[in-house]
Amino acid sequence: MTQMHIELDVQTRLMRAVLWMPDPAAVAPPWPTVLLCPPPAGSAHDYGPLLTELIAVLNDAGLAVAHVEPGSPSAALGEIIDAASAALHQLLVHEDVDSARLGVLGIELGTLVAAALTGRTDRVTRLCLLAPLTAEALLSRIARRDASPPLLQSDSVSELLCRELAELAPLKDVAAHPRPTLILSPAADAVLPRAQAHAYLDALTAVKPAARLELLARADHTCTDPEARGVCAARIRDFFSPMRKEPRSEPPSA
C-alpha cells in the first residue's frame, strides 16, 4: 500500500486527509474510493485495529481509501464534518480517483459525520454505517451522565458539542439522496442498543434502493475478536467492491 497526504483548509484549522492507494501494477487508476468517517479523537473506544484491517482489505480489492487524520481532540464536530466534506471535494478532482464511484463508511460516532456528509451531496454512490447512533441518542446519554459504558471521553463533552448535536438530523440526511446503503450492527454490542441501527433502517424504508441491516455474529462494539473483525472487514469489502464493476455514468451535479 502507498499513501498520499492531502491538505485541507477547514474553517480556522489546517487539517490533512490520507489517501491509501492500491498497487497500480495490479489495478490501474482511477480507482473507486471509500471515504472513512471513523469516530473522532474524543471517542472512548479504539477502532484502530479494525481501521488498519479495513484499509488493507479494501486496497487489496482494488479500492482506494481516504480518511481525515484525527487532528486535535478539541476540534469541534462541525469542523470534523467540514473536513470530511473538504476531503470528498478533493477526491472528486483527484486524477487517480474515479469520481463517479465514491463510497462513504461511517463508524460509531463517525456515522454522524457520514450522515451529514451524504446529506449534502448526491455524489456518494454507496453508504455503509457500522454501529450507528443518532444525535438524539448521544445527547440523551450525555444528559444522563451515568450512561455506561461511555461513548465519549469526559473532557470531550462540551456545551458546543451539545449545540452541534441538536442541529444535526442524521436520519433525514441519510435518506436525502437514494443510494445502496448497508447498516451493520455488532451482535454482541454492549455499548449501543440495536434500536439505533433500526432507527436508520426505518428512516430508509421508503428509499429506493432500499437499505439492508445485517448483524455481525460474535462481534462486540469495536470488533475486538480477530475473527469477527475479519468477517466485518470482508463484509464491508463485499459491499463496496461492486463499485469496480458498476457502469460509469456522468457524475451528477454537485
Question: Helix (H, G, I), strand (E, B), or coil: what is residue 26?
Answer: coil
Distances, alpha carbon 174 to alpha carbons 20, 56, 188, 203, in Å: 26, 27, 25, 8
Where residue 252 falls among pLDDT bands split at 50, 70, 90?
Answer: very low
Where residue 101 falls among pLDDT bands split at 50, 70, 90?
Answer: very high
Q: Is residue 6 assigned to a domain?
A: yes
Q: Is residue 250 assigned to a domain?
A: no
Instruction: Report the share of the chain in percent with pLDDT over 90.
Output: 70
Strand 2-10 to 13-21 pairing? antiparallel
Single-letter residue type at 235: R
Distances, alpha carbon 110 to alpha carbons 45, 70, 80, 82, in Å: 12, 11, 9, 13
Q: Is residue 41 assigned to a domain?
A: yes
Where residue 226 falls among pLDDT bands split at 50, 70, 90?
Answer: very high
Tell me how many domains the chain contains. Answer: 1
Q: What pLDDT digit, counting tens, does each position of 125-156 carry? A: 999 999 999 999 999 988 877 666 778 877 67
Is the preceding peptide bond at 149 cis, omega within 30 degrees of 0? yes
Q: Is residue 69 assigned to a domain?
A: yes
- Domain span at 189: 2-244
Overall pTM > 0.85: yes
Q: Which of 27-36, 110-119, 146-155 has the lowest mean pLDDT?
A: 146-155
Helix, strand, coil share (%) of the chain residues, nearest 5: 35, 25, 40
Say yes or no to pLDDT of 209 above 90.
no
Looking at every residue in the chain, the average pLDDT score rounds to: 90
Say yes or no to pLDDT of 250 above 70.
no
Q: Which of 28-32, 192-196, 197-201, 243-247 has the lowest mean pLDDT?
A: 243-247
Mean of pLDDT values over 14-39: 93
Q: Is residue 251 assigned to a domain?
A: no
Q: Is residue 254 assigned to a domain?
A: no
> Does 207 or 148 have the greater pLDDT score?
207
Is the preceding peptide bond at 242 cis, omega within 30 degrees of 0? no
Q: Which pLDDT score, from 0 to 100, does residue 254 have? A: 43
Which CATH number does the domain housing residue 118 bear? 3.40.50.1820
- Where residue 126 falls (left for φ over 0; alpha for ψ -120 to 50; beta otherwise) is beta
- Where residue 131 falls (left for φ over 0; alpha for ψ -120 to 50; beta otherwise) is left
Q: Which pLDDT score, from 0 to 100, does residue 73 have? A: 61
